[in-house]
Amino acid sequence: MEVGILAFSGYIPKSRLQRSEIFKAHAWFNPGLKGLARGERAAANWDEDSVTMAVEAARNCLADQDRADISGVYMASTSYPFQDRQNAGIVADALNLSSSLQTLDFSSSMRAGTSGLLMALQATKGGAGKVLFTASEKRQTKAGNALEMTSGDGAAALLVGEGDIMARLLGAHTESVDFVDHFRGEENNHDYTWEERWIRDEGYMKIVPTAISALLDKAGINAADITTFCFPVAARNVAAGLAKKTGINPDAVADNLQATVGETGSAHSIVMLVQALEQAKPGDKILVASFGQGCDALLFEATDKVKSAAASLSSSLKNGRPESNYNRFLVINGELSTEQGIRAEVDKNTGLTTHYRNRYLAQRMVGGECSKCGTIQFPKTNMCVNENCGEIGTQEDHPFAEKIASVNSFTADRLTYSPDPPAYYGMVQFEGGGRLMADFTDIAPDAELSVGDKMRMVFRVKDYDNKRGFRRYFWKAVPLEDTQKGV
């Protein structure tokens, strides 16, 4: 059987910061930013990071898939929340996957997305079974820097393996060149970038065509036969210039999503691939190239199965919410120090023993179902909560993460500390049984929540222990798209 892409999905955070607001704040110092002050950039919420966005993209990707068949979870990012803790392992845990799988992190380059995907495809070709590949970025950019304008937050996920594939891999080629266009040292939070024209002329225009030409020669494909050319770069006309130099039809150059999302770092090649697959017709040939200390080039051909794919990325793009509060963006990204009040001074030290023992509840959101009476409850306990049952030791694992819930009660609290006040929380009732006092997230400023509104659960950061560099994750409730009446 052929190896290829079985399913795909993308996720873009709801908030879209208007670039004009960034320019207004910095025009006094850097009027040259005006040329970039068009459109909007995707901005993750305070409780989102590269892990949580990878989980959200992967959930959509696996919506119609048997999770028991997955043998590996790979993740690519240059903005991991943990340097010494496997981030792909957290993703696998949140997806409630078996522990009998391989988890790998790919990093240190803007082409980590394509390199990780290529490794996933090679693993499945070698008989490893189905591999879930995710790429996600929440890059930290210095205020007033051009990268703040052109970057964006987002994630994508691909399930690769044998079976009813939606796209087959026709070939791949890698050029490894230590060309340093930008870098981030061990003690730094922000990228240091070099001169744009030099990067374009000596980097993009010399290294990328070499990789593309080698790939096309290997695959025996003419450049004119490429239907879609995905190259993740924010600089104008670079992708078009590469297409002209390699003989690719100019109409094949894909939208780089700069106007609506921004460049999502190492994830952007995969985000653009997902966008291309959502728009593809059977037989279309999609060339994806990414740049970073060399170049990866991968060529895919869409199959008949691509017609049945859900447009998750397109849906995510449509569900954006304009954001004009630039100060909020700075604060939740740690670029502006503000007074948080004494309620923020509670020590967030996490007992790692307790964290491990409760990982099924906290990270996998697994509750219980009584094998005697069938009562579903969250959290799982030793005793059935049904007053007419009360059996001991009859609880079996029951997942709650994909269940729809309804609001029983809620409040918007400005007294308790929240990085983004007010803190919304309330009691939600799950369909089929089970209740949870949950934090709410992604609530629109003008939303009109009501008792009975439908909610779904999302994997988010619960809180940060900044003193020790740890963060806890848990599941929060977010309104279904049609329930935020004020949006």
What is the pLDDT confidence band of residue 101, given thresholds at 50, 70 and 90? very high
Mean pLDDT, to the nearest integer, of 149-168? 96
Give kind and range of the element (H or E) at residue 318.
helix 312-318
Q: Match 């980590």 to its residue by tokens.
A: 112
- Domains (range + CATH), the chain: 3-332 (3.40.47.10), 402-483 (2.40.50)
pLDDT digits (tens, 9 = 90+) for 287-345: 999 999 999 999 999 999 998 888 889 999 999 999 999 999 999 999 998 888 888 88
**Please, what is the average pLDDT of the chain?**
95
pLDDT of the residue at 340: 85
Q: Is the peptide bond before 479 cis (omega within 30 degrees of 0)?
A: no
Residue in 11, 266, 229 with CA at minimum distance from that of residue 151 = 266
Poorest-confidence range of 100-104, 108-112, 349-353, 401-405? 349-353
Least confident range from 42-46, 106-110, 270-274, 478-482: namely 478-482
pLDDT single digits (tens) 414-429: 999 999 999 999 999 9
Q: Is the pLDDT of residue 167 over 80?
A: yes
pLDDT recorded at residue 485 = 40
Contact (CB, 8 A) for 136 and 179: no
pLDDT of residue 438: 97
Confidence check: pLDDT of 483 > 70: no
Provide the pLDDT for residue 487: 35
pLDDT digits (tens, 9 = 90+) for 448-470: 899 999 999 999 999 999 899 99
Q: Name the token pair of 146.
A: 């051009």
